[in-house]
Amino acid sequence: MFANKKVVLGISGGIAAYKAADIASWLTKNGADVRCVMTKHATEFISPVVLQALTGHAVVQEEFVTGPGWGIVHIDTAADADLLVIIPATANIIAKIANGIADDALTSTVLAATCPCMVAPAMNTNMYRNAATQHNLQVLAERGWHILKPACGHLACGTVGEGKLPAVEVIEEEITGLLLPRRDFAGQKVLVTAGPTSEPIDPVRYISNRSSGKMGYAIAEAAVARGAEVVLVSGRTNLQPPKGVRLVNIGSAQQMLEAVLAEYETCDVVIKAAAVADYRVATPADHKIKKTDDTDELVLHLVKNPDILAELGRRKQHQLLVGFAAETNNVEEYAKKKLVKKNTDLLVANDVSRPDAGFDVDTNQVIIFSADGGKITPPLASKRKTADYILDAVQDKLAARSK
């Protein structure tokens, strides 16, 4: 299953270190080339000999190696890796990585790695919940790390709570997802809208909003990775379009409406992550509006923009329609109302009052409501990971339809 895949398995000094042996064994049996890197403390919990025997490779413990076969160990270990996972990840190793510290073989290897990375935190509940640990995990999530949520249960310190290493099967499933991306959208055309609209006031000014496009671009990237043909209709952003998408740049809501309608009939899935201006200037000036000395006010006459999502909801035939709702209060109530009013199949509710979710941050936490009454609550995660949660919900809907 994992032929030609190189996995760096980092092990830090927690009681769950012995479970890394199961993962090393499973990866190796499935054909992966597994390179274990242990911290000094990890060797107190499990012998490197065990991991060497399971993987067939010497375990990296030191950065400085002399004699035959020497090399720059952390660089060689990280080179060409398809995945780097740290199982278990202690609060200490997470803190070091979040701060870019490279003072041993594992942290140096992490800094040299360019592949997808994942941590499986495991520690005492208070240490896990400590603001410093949570902050460090968020830093990693913002950098695109995959963070496994610890399980609840009996901990080595004698308490019961959050902080347990997830079951080996859960870790295996996560690793499989990272090593073998799904192609479950192959043959599907997915249209994603992203970013803000810009409503002109005059030739040099416009009304816009705080959307950076990150959420929509992450969805487009995830859909391409999962095999979809992707059209990304985007307002003004500073982002590079993901490889493989067809980008359609727009300015105003009216232009977004036209771009979306031109594609709609041939789309299988439409995901409207864009922040569309509800109002536009009725008659934008055709010259720059000049400041005058006789008044301190400038009055703009605004008129309602077309509601693109509602229009798509009205015209919906075979398409699966996903809307977003950016809210600052009564999030669930308003989101459910939008789902019904705009006739969407799924509605992604976004509490944009949170500092770690919504506009222009790299993480998000959403609630996904389904027209059949279902509700999914993914954890706080990078926008890229959140995109996968949304696409998973879309897949569930498509599967239910074809039954």
Binding of ligand PMT at residue 350 (CB under 6 A)?
yes
Binding of ligand PMT at residue 368 (CB under 6 A)?
no
When binding is defined by CB under 6 A, the residue of 278, 337, 340, 399 that contacts ligand PMT is: 278
Binding of ligand PMT at residue 9 (CB under 6 A)?
no
When binding is defined by CB under 6 A, the residue of 87, 325, 346, 394 that contacts ligand PMT is: 325
- Reduced to 3 states, what is the DSSP secondary structure of residue 305? coil
Within residues 221-250, the interface with ligand PMT by CB under 6 A covers none
Taking the complex as a whole, how short is the minimal distance between the CB of residue 267 and ligand PMT, in angstroms?
A: 15
Taking the complex as a whole, how short is the minimal distance between the CB of residue 270 and ligand PMT, in angstroms?
A: 10
The Cα 233–Cα 256 span in angstroms is 7
When binding is defined by CB under 6 A, the residue of 42, 273, 321, 393 that contacts ligand PMT is: 273
Task: Answer yes or no: are the C-beta atoms of 193 and 217 closer than 8 Å.
Answer: no
In this structure, are strands 33-38 and 6-11 parallel, antiparallel, or unpaired? parallel
Taking the complex as a whole, how short is the minimal distance between the CB of residue 189 and ligand PMT, in angstroms?
A: 19
When binding is defined by CB under 6 A, the residue of 27, 224, 231, 308 that contacts ligand PMT is: 308
* Marked catalytic residue, from 36, 117, 157, 267: 157
| 39 versus 138: smaller Cβ distance to ligand PMT | 138
Count of beta carbons in the 10 Å neighbourhood of residue 168: 16
Binding of ligand PMT at residue 389 (CB under 6 A)?
no
When binding is defined by CB under 6 A, the residue of 211, 234, 363, 382 that contacts ligand PMT is: 211
When binding is defined by CB under 6 A, the residue of 359, 370, 376, 392 that contacts ligand PMT is: 359
Q: Which residues contact 31 (CB under 8 A, 6 or more apart)?
A: 1, 2, 3, 4, 5
Q: Is 36 a catalytic residue?
A: no
Residues 376, 230, 384, 227: is their CA dihedral positive or negative?
A: positive
| Secondary structure (H, E, C), 161-225 | EEEECCCHHHHHHHHHHHHCCCCCCCCCEEEEEECECCEEEECCEEECCCCCCHHHHHHHHHHHH
Taking the complex as a whole, how short is the minimal distance between the CB of residue 263 and ligand PMT, in angstroms?
A: 14
Distances (CA, A) of 144 to 114, 182, 272, 301, 331: 11, 18, 23, 43, 26
Using alpha carbons, select from 399, 372, 367 the residue that is nearest to residue 269: 399
Binding of ligand PMT at residue 333 (CB under 6 A)?
no
Task: Answer yes or no: are the C-beta atoms of 13 and 87 closer than 8 Å.
Answer: no
Within residues 27-66, the interface with ligand PMT by CB under 6 A covers none
Task: Answer yes or no: are the C-beta atoms of 285 and 205 closer than 8 Å.
Answer: no
Calculate helix-pair angle for 168-179, 19-29, nearest 10 degrees.
40
Amino acid at 69: G
When binding is defined by CB under 6 A, the residue of 12, 358, 363, 369 that contacts ligand PMT is: 358
Binding of ligand PMT at residue 121 (CB under 6 A)?
no
The Cα 179–Cα 182 span in angstroms is 9
Binding of ligand PMT at residue 78 (CB under 6 A)?
no
When binding is defined by CB under 6 A, the residue of 172, 263, 307, 332 that contacts ligand PMT is: 307
- The residues binding ligand PMT (CB under 6 A) are 195, 211-215, 253, 272-276, 278, 305, 307-309, 323-326, 338, 350, 352, 358-360
Active-site residues, by number, are 157
